[in-house]
Amino acid sequence: MPQRHYVNRFVRDFRQWTEKYVDHMHFTVPLQTGTADGYKFPGEYIGQYGVYEAVKHIYSKNANLAHLVTNDGNNLHLSKKYFAPDLEKGIIHVRD
């Protein structure tokens, strides 16, 4: 089977038997605990801001979405209803 990499908030509760379903976890909360036998689930801490930076970049490159990034560049205004279509339009614009 191909390797399965996932993104999740935590990896702390994953044990040996989880490797049957997931090969590697990219996690955003830096809590990784070992078991009594020293096992730690294979994973990589990726930080909490990677997705934010990607969405900010996509929105700021599109004139129709740039107003959703605040002037100081630290906040994004997102719509629960229109997030997916807005993001897709922004990705298409960046690709073009």
pLDDT in tens, 7-47: 777 787 788 888 888 888 888 887 777 778 888 888 888 87
Average pLDDT rounded to a whole number, residues 72-80: 79
Dihedral of the CA atoms 91, 74, 53, 56 (nearest 10)?
0
- The stretches of the chain forming alpha helices (DSSP H) are 50-60, 83-95
